């Protein structure tokens, strides 16, 4: 049921210029649902996103900075936005270097409750 509701929401991210993937994964690193244009190893992305988010969250706790809200990985050919959705799920959005990061962040904030409700 959840996957039926999640897919259309994730497809909305692909309509943003430069976005090529939106993946919801468990904190265990397994893919829950994805929307992808092009070729991606979404299983590897989910696993690495889980590890990266977990490490950054632990750093925030260790430094007493609170819970991790969002993580932006800026790479030469485009950003990857990572954000926890709950204790058990996260979202990773992959874009190219033409993407408007502000727009991606805005759409994630706007759709966060819908995504969480669909989980």
What order of strands is seen across the sheet that includes strand 31-36? 31-36, 19-26, 89-95, 78-84, 71-75
What is the per-residue pLDDT for 2? 53
pTM score of the predicted model: 0.93
Q: pLDDT digit string (tens) for 94-104? A: 999 999 999 99
Task: Note down pLDDT in tens along the chain; length 119 residues.
Answer: 455 789 999 999 999 999 999 999 999 999 999 999 988 899 999 999 999 999 998 999 999 999 999 999 999 999 999 999 999 999 999 999 999 999 999 999 999 999 999 99
Query: Could you give the C-alpha distances from 23 to 15, 44, 45, 90, 107, in angstroms and in order?
Result: 14, 11, 8, 8, 14
Structural domains of the chain in order of their starting residue, each with its CATH number: 2-118 (3.30.450.30)
What is the crossing angle of helices 2-14 and 101-118, to 10°?
170
Q: CB–CB of 16/104 below 8 Å?
A: yes
Rounded Cα distance, 68 and 53, in Å: 8
Q: Which residues pair with 33 in a beta bridge?
A: 24
Q: What is the mean pLDDT of the chain?
A: 93
């Amino acid at each position: 049921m959840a996957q039926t509701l999640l897919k259309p929401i994730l497809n909305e991210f692909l309509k943003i210029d430069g976005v090529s993937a939106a993946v919801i994964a468990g904190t265990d690193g397994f893919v829950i649902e994805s929307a992808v244009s092009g070729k991606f190893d979404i299983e590897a992305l989910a696993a690495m996103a889980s590890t990266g988010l977990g490490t950054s969250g632990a750093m925030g706790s260790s430094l007493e900075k609170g819970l991790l809200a969002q993580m932006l990985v800026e790479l030469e050919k485009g950003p990857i936005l990572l954000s926890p959705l709950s204790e058990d799920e996260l979202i990773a959005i992959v874009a190219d270097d033409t993407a408007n990061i502000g727009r991606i962040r805005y759409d994630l904030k706007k759709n966060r409750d819908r995504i969480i409700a669909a989980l």
